[in-house]
Structure 1
Amino acid sequence: MIEHPATTPRLRLPFLPTLLVGLAVLIMIGLGIWQLQRSAEKTAAIAMAASNPARPAVSFPALPPVPRDLLFRPSSVMCLRVAGWRTEAGRASDGTSGYRYIAQCVTGAEGPGALVVMGVTPRPDAGPVWTGGRVAGWLSEEPDHRPLIARLAGKAPPLRPMLVARTAAAGLKPAAPPSAADVPNNHLAYAVQWFLFAAIAIIIYILALRRHIGLKSA
């Protein structure tokens, strides 16, 4: 009598869960690669911005985003009137910390207006009495309060242009000029996060498969 060797049951992966996990992992890896590309672009943009303060003055851009070749360039804007004030943590030109007063300026009958940093104070109060006029300074971008998920996915709206005034409003210290050192380059960290998410998804799925196989063989 001929005995046939025992055969090991062939493992069959569940189709739909495997497909969904595979697609999710591919998307996360793709996002990680995209963030690596963005990191290289941002590094080049920061290098360009570092030399911009010494370049000739440019017109204040009407709409976002601020082109990288204009970031930190000297500029000026005419503030017809101040529609409101915002306060943000900031630093004065003498190195002290405090609160920046950002004027929300009206620049015409229509349009987005302009944001102007009019100076820094050690503590927030009723706000400066400045009501508008011609302001000269350096081009920057508004503080970034966009949701992290939107930034990771590239869905966040562009940051509006903002002018950091050379001369402060009465009662305020001049704000520190914008610097390339203040521009974050978090794209490499975002890429690592996406790759970690992909690895964790694979590990969790493998553990779930092992548990599933163990329950079936029990």
Structure 2
Amino acid sequence: MTDTPQAPRRWPVIPTIVVLFAVAAMIALGVWQLQRKGEKEALIALYERNMAMSSLVTYPKLPPVPDAMLFRKSSVVCLEPVRWDSRSGIDRKGQSGIRMIADCRTGAEGPGVLVDVGIAGDFTPPQWKGGTVQGTVVPGPEQPTVIQRLTGRAVPARAMLVADTPVPGLRASEVPSGADVPNNHLAYAFQWFFFAAVALIIYILAVRRRLQP
């Protein structure tokens, strides 16, 4: 009596299609991150050019703030600080402290402006009643989170003016620069390409093991 030869096993069609679709999606995400890397480099270069300009621009009271106005010099008139936002920060000598951000009234109606008037040693707001402030326009502290951006719930962030000269009793806050803008897209691209390669290799090894008699 002879053994009946077994039909050769074949590659599973549907699982293979699913895995190839997932790998293609990961590769597409990696390519997208490479594109984002180029866009972010161009944006950082724009910020660096903005910082080299000495002319004043009109303070952007309404969000979203145009990229061409970020890290430019501007001037505002704070009629009265209506609220203080105390946050951790550092001064221009690298010493830590409490950053004093005033939400200022600029008129009878309409939006106010955010002004970083300096670094304090504690959470006590300075005895500052307002006035003309000149400084650098930077992104405000209340930036939308990644989840808010992905879910479409992101609200455009207000700008903030970092004062060139702090109010009496405070130290000048460090001014952010375009170099502080994160550009991790190359690392993200490599991660997606790595995940795609690993997923494909693991699947091929698993199927080959299954096809062995």
Q: Per the alignment, in what secondary structure is the counterpart of residue 35 of structure 1?
A: helix
Change in CA separation of 1:9 and 1:67 when aligned onto 2, cut-off 3 Å: same
SS at match of 2:173: coil
TM-superposed CA distance for 1:202, in Å, is: 3.9
RMSD over aligned Cα, in angstroms? Answer: 3.3
Task: Identify the residue that residue 170 of structure 2 maps to in structure 1.
Answer: 172
Task: Figure out how many residues of one structure are paired with residues of the other and give that number.
Answer: 208
Number of the residue aligned with 2:73: 74
CA distance in 1, matches of 2:142, 2:19: 33
Q: Distance in 1 between matches of 2:79 and 2:183?
A: 35
Residues 196, 73 of structure 1: CA spacing in aligned structure 2 closer, same or farther, 3 A cutoff?
A: same
Using the size of structure 2 for normalisation, the TM-score is 0.77
Q: 1:30 to 1:160 in 2, by over 3 A?
A: farther
- Corresponding residue for residue 39 of structure 1: 37
The change in CA–CA distance for 1:19 and 1:11 in structure 2 (over 3 A counts) is closer
Q: Report what 1:50 is aligned to.
A: 48
| TM-score normalised by the chain length of structure 1 | 0.75
Q: CA deviation at 1:19?
A: 4.8
In structure 2, stretches of 5+ residues that fail to align are none
Deviations 1:103-143 (A, max 9, x none): 22233455443221110124x32222223332110111123
1:109 and 1:25 map into 2 onto residues whose CA distance is 57
Question: 1:74 is aligned with what amino acid?
Answer: K
Report what 1:126 is aligned to: 124
Alignment of 1:1-218 (within 5 A): 8-13=8-13, 15=14, 18-55=16-53, 56-122=55-121, 124-143=122-141, 146-148=144-146, 157-202=155-200, 205=203, 213=210
Deviation at 1:47, TM superposition (A): 2.0
Structure 1 residues 198 and 134: CA distance shift in structure 2, 3 A: farther
Cα deviation for residue 92 of structure 1 reads 1.1
1:205–1:89 CA distance, 2 compared to 1 (3 A):
farther
Q: Give the CA deviation at 1:145.
A: 5.4
Counterpart secondary structure, 1:125 = coil
2:142 and 2:184 mapped to 1: Cα distance?
Answer: 13
Q: Percent identity, aligned pairs only? A: 50
Please report how far the alpha carbon of residue 162 of structure 1 lies from its aligned counterpart in structure 2 after TM superposition.
1.2
- 1:152-197 deviation digits (Å, cap 9, x = unpaired): x596554431110112123210112332232222222332333344
- Aligned mates of 2:199, 2:143 — CA distance in 1: 29
Are residues 202 and 10 of structure 1, via their aligned partners in 2, closer, same or farther at CA, if it must alter by over 3 Å?
closer
